[in-house]
């Protein structure tokens, strides 16, 4: 269908923003800097308003509707953070930081270690025995061997020679393969962004400049 006035204006803004960002590929210029500032400003305001709404919905509103008086404590701690702006009273904000760091450390110690450390070790050891087919069992055995050999790459207490040297080299291959897969995922994600931006440009050219229906 043909675009209306406001749809065409919105498409033009998208088109201009994409081209201004792409202009950075040539060299740094005023258009790329303006587009970057616009994105940063809009994102800052968006997250500020979203967080402000969350404070009201999760903190302030339950005090009056459900009588959760204890919600005053995190609200006060959040307000104390802004004393960081003042040079004279910046020390007051340290109490809020201390509470946040303490709670964060406790949460990490109680959740990260059982799930991300012990859980991964257990799943790696059990992987060869959990497969329902030969392929899954072979994959679990390969995973277990890869983990062990990758760990030998970081052993610096003895010289890498003999069997240890071969184990370290094979472990390095496993590590490089994993890093390569992560890099490939990042490239694919970047290409998906490029494709999306290209579709915006093509949509503007077809609908606004050429007047074709889309």
Domain presence at residue 180: yes
**Residue 171: inside a domain, yes or no?**
yes
In a domain, 183, yes or no: yes
**Within a domain: residue 160?**
yes
Please give the structure tokens belonging to residue 160. Answer: 């890498």
What per-residue confidence (pLDDT) applies to 92?
Answer: 92
- Which residue is it, tokens 């050429």? 210
Select from 59, 54, 78, 83 the least CA-distant residue to 70: 59
Range(s) of the domain holding residue 181: 131-214
Say what the pLDDT of residue 49 is. Answer: 94
In a domain, 90, yes or no: no
pTM for this prediction: 0.58
Residue 82 is given by DSSP the state G
The domain total for the chain is 1
pLDDT for 143-202, tens place per residue?
888 888 888 888 777 777 778 888 888 888 888 988 998 899 988 888 888 888 888 778
- By CB atoms closer than 10 A (0-12, 13-18, 19+), residue 131 is middle
């Amino acid at each position: 269908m043909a675009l209306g006035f406001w749809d065409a204006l919105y498409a033009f803004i998208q088109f201009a923003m994409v081209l201004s960002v792409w202009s950075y590929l040539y060299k740094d210029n005023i258009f790329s800097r303006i587009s970057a500032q616009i994105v940063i400003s809009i994102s800052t305001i968006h997250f500020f308003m979203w967080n402000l709404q969350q404070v009201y919905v999760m903190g302030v509103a339950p005090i009056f509707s459900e009588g959760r008086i204890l919600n005053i404590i995190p609200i006060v701690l959040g307000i104390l953070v802004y004393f960081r702006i003042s040079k004279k009273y910046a020390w007051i904000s340290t109490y809020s930081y201390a509470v946040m760091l303490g709670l964060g450390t406790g949460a990490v110690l109680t959740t990260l270690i059982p799930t991300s450390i012990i859980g991964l070790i257990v799943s790696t050891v059990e992987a060869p025995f959990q497969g329902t087919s030969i392929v899954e069992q072979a994959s679990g055995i390969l995973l277990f061997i890869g983990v062990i050999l990758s760990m030998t790459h970081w052993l610096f207490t003895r010289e890498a020679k003999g069997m240890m040297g071969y184990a370290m080299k094979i472990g390095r291959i496993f590590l490089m393969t994993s890093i390569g897969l992560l890099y490939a995922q990042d490239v694919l994600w970047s290409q998906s962004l490029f494709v999306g931006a290209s579709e915006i440009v093509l949509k503007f050219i077809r609908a606004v400049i050429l007047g074709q229906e889309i």
